[in-house]
């Protein structure tokens, strides 16, 4: 019994340290994030202090029936996000095992592992928050969907063209259909390492584990959405004037939509945003903002000339015969400015 417990502690100390090292390398060399890298290193060193010679001596690798066990999902990592999440889970699960079995070995070790597990949860939250928000900051083109029978096909074509930010918008579909489509789109976006945002519906964003939600002026408060989705998810807000922008900033929205830049059937009856408002946004907006409303390749240069650096489009890509080509042309013009 004693040897079995020692083997369990030894194996999970290795597992937790390995997972933390993988995360540490990305924080250090992938993100150049010194505080997170240092915290990962500190946890590894604390685990090493508990990894005594007594526990190491109990190791029996040839006799371990689990060395040949594997799962297909462990053999491939399609994105950095998947790799990081897998190793966060690896470390957290190992720390939980250490916490429980250490109660039979050294209660102080159990208490230490419990606290380390909470610290790893905090690192995960900070890292995912940083990762998502860096993706948001880098995104120049934002595709907002419109209902279409071949929706998934059009979206995948845009993703192949380099799209990194998508919002699923369908005001008229049933809740069941919206959840199904949102789930499919979320998986598709993550396969291409793109962010997936749900329009209006905080509950659907939560249900499909979307990267965030976009709220109109008549939708839920940003604080409510953040409480439901968590601090690491992205929350955007539509704005059409100074008052709405100031309120979005005060609510701490992560980004805002600014428009409509041109009259558009997506927002019938809405007049184009004034030059005064656009100038105000350029001067006062501290978060990424996306020009939206009737934008296409023909008027894109005019939008950029007004000071926009990021644009959101609907019809220009959703109704295009070649969504991949149009997406690439948008990105080429945006990046050349």
* C-alpha–C-alpha distance, residues 204 and 246, integer Å: 27
Please say whether the beta carbons of 60 and 7 come within 8 A.
Answer: yes
Q: Which of 169, 178, 226, 233 is catalytic?
A: 169
Give the span between the Cα atoms of 164 and 134, in whole angstroms.
Answer: 12
**Does residue 41 sit in helix, strand or coil?**
helix
Smallest Cα–Cα separation from 236: which of 262, 206, 216? 216
The residue from 28, 59, 81, 267 that is catalytic is 267
Q: 199 — alpha (psi -120 to 50), left (phi > 0) or beta? A: beta
SS3 state at 235: strand
Candidates 88, 68, 69; CA nearest to 21 is 88
Residue 274: active-site member: no
Residue 130 a catalytic site member: no
| CA–CA dist 332, 337 (Å, integer) | 9
What's the CA gap between 135 and 129, in Å, rounded? 10
Among residues 91, 102, 157, 238, the one annotated as catalytic is: 238
Q: Is 59 a catalytic residue?
A: no
CA distance 136 to 157: 20
Active site residues: 169, 238, 267
């Amino acid at each position: 019994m004693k040897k079995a417990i020692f083997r369990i502690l030894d194996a999970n100390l290795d597992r937790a340290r390995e997972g933390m090292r993988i995360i540490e390398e990305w924080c250090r060399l992938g993100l150049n994030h010194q505080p997170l890298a240092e915290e990962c290193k500190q946890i590894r060193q604390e685990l090493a202090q508990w990894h005594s010679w007594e526990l190491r001596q109990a190791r029996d690798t040839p006799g371990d029936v689990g060395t040949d066990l594997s799962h297909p999902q462990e053999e491939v990592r399609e994105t950095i996000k998947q790799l990081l999440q897998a190793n966060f889970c690896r470390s957290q699960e190992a720390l939980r095992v250490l916490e429980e079995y250490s109660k039979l070995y050294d209660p102080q070790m159990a208490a230490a592992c419990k606290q380390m597990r909470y610290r790893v949860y905090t690192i995960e939250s900070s890292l995912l928050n940083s990762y998502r928000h860096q993706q948001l900051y880098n995104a120049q083109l934002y595709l907002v969907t419109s209902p279409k029978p071949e929706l998934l096909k059009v979206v995948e074509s845009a993703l192949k063209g380099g799209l990194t930010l998508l919002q699923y918008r369908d005001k008229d579909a049933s809740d069941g259909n919206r959840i199904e489509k949102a789930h499919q789109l979320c998986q598709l976006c993550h396969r291409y390492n793109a962010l997936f945002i749900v329009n209006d519906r905080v509950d659907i964003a939560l249900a499909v584990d979307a990267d965030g939600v976009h709220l109109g002026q008549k939708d839920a408060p940003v604080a409510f959405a953040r409480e439901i989705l968590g601090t690491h998810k992205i929350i955007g807000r539509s704005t059409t004037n100074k008052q709405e922008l100031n309120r979005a900033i005060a609510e701490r929205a992560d980004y805002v939509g600014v428009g409509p830049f041109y009259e558009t059937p997506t927002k019938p009856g809405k007049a184009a945003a004034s030059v005064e408002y656009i100038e105000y946004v350029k001067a006062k907006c501290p978060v990424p903002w996306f020009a939206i409303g009737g934008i296409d390749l023909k008027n894109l240069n005019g939008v950029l000339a007004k000071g926009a650096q990021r644009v959101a489009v609907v019809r220009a890509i959703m109704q295009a015969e070649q969504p991949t080509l149009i997406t690439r042309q948008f990105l080429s013009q945006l990046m050349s400015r």
